Amino acid sequence: MKRASRKIDKQAADSTPAGAECSAESAFTSYAAPLVDEAIEHAHAVSEDTSPEALHKLRISLRRLRSLWWAFEPLLDKGGNTRQRELYKYLATAAGKTRDWDILIELVAQDERVAHEMAPKLEEARGSALATSRETLSNADVKHLLQDALASASQELNTADERVPLQKFVDRRVAASERSLNKRIKRASRAKRPNYTALHDVRKAGKKVRYLLEFFEPVLSGSHKRVLKRLKQIQKRFGTLNDIVASEMLLHGNMGLLAGSGDIDAVLLWLRKERKRRMRAAAGLLRKL
């Protein structure tokens, strides 16, 4: 199918969020189109804006798209849905590689002496990563990739033989995401020692639940405000842990590139201590949930 024939018309893209009385199939575009437009806008901004915020916004918008496609997974072709979610992950990773350098620079900046010594090479590495991120996103043609994905999924859902009530559908999908989160919380909290992989799995599952609640809260049965508040606590504490771990891994993976730029061993020692401290704090929060 030609690209032009698969575009969603302006009226569909500007549709307002669906009510609970709609079918899940007919409501999909009202949820997906604004997210696609937002991701395209942020991808365009990255081509002109070198700030950390531009990349951060693009990565979040792609993660939200990935979560929405997960939510509608039961109604979409399984293979196509998996490939689309992997594409969103790939694009988010492309943006994230530069964002990881931004986070490391922010952490190192807490020590003025070390920051002064390392800043030139950190900024150089960040610039190289940004160039790669931009090239990857440009070559991917994000705008048309996302528009095609929206058109394809919308057509598939709009031509489906069966219809599922929206409220019933989103209640089931949010419940499934919450079960997955609770399973990961139990696994992480039962570990004898704080386990980063298990904690990271909690963070990812929590993000998915949070995004789904933000998407569907107006049509969900019952109130989910307490759950959303708890998730924000998890994300904040687990997010700081992830920043430390990502920075530690980035330094380890670029020792040669940063050689001679300062006392890297001292930075790694500080990051290791921070990782252990923040892992204990994250595990402690889980025990309170």
Domain ranges of the chain: 14-288
The per-residue pLDDT string of the chain (289 residues; one tens digit each, 9 = 90 and over) reads 334 333 434 434 344 556 667 999 999 999 999 999 999 999 999 888 888 888 889 999 999 999 999 999 999 999 999 999 999 999 999 988 898 999 999 999 988 888 888 888 999 999 999 999 999 999 999 999 999 999 999 999 999 888 999 999 999 999 999 999 999 999 998 888 889 999 999 999 999 999 999 999 999 998 888 888 888 888 888 999 999 999 999 999 998 888 877 788 889 999 999 999 999 999 988 887 7
CATH class of 14-288: mainly alpha
pLDDT at residue 5, as a whole number: 36
Angle at 249 between CA 182 and CA 70, to 5 degrees: 35
What is the rounded distance in angstroms from the CA atom of residue 201 to the CA atom of residue 233?
16
pLDDT at residue 145, as a whole number: 94
pLDDT at residue 19, as a whole number: 65
**How is the chain split among helix, strand and coil, in percent rounded to 5?**
80, 0, 20
pLDDT at residue 209, as a whole number: 95
pLDDT at residue 168, as a whole number: 95
Cβ atoms of 271 and 241 within 8 Å: the answer is: no
Angle at 180 between CA 179 and CA 186, to 5 degrees: 90
Three-state DSSP state, 184: helix
Contacts of residues 68-72 at CB distance under 8 Å and 24 or more positions apart, as own/partner, are 68/31, 68/32, 68/35, 68/211, 68/215, 69/153, 70/208, 71/170, 71/173, 71/177, 71/212, 71/215, 71/216, 72/24, 72/28, 72/153, 72/157
Three-state DSSP state, 185: helix
Residue with tokens 């620079």: 105
pLDDT at residue 69, as a whole number: 98
The pLDDT tens digits of the residues spanning 103-146 come to: 999 999 988 888 888 888 999 999 999 999 999 999 999 999 99
Spell 26-62 as b/e; 16+ CB within 10 A means b: bbbbbbbbebbbbbbebbeebeeeeebebbbbbbbbb
Angle at 103 between CA 193 and CA 195, to 5 degrees: 10
Cβ atoms of 221 and 246 within 8 Å: the answer is: no
Residues forming beta bridges with residue 165, ordered by sequence position: 23
The pLDDT tens digits of the residues spanning 83-115 come to: 999 999 999 999 888 989 999 999 999 888 888
> What pTM value is reported for the model?
0.87
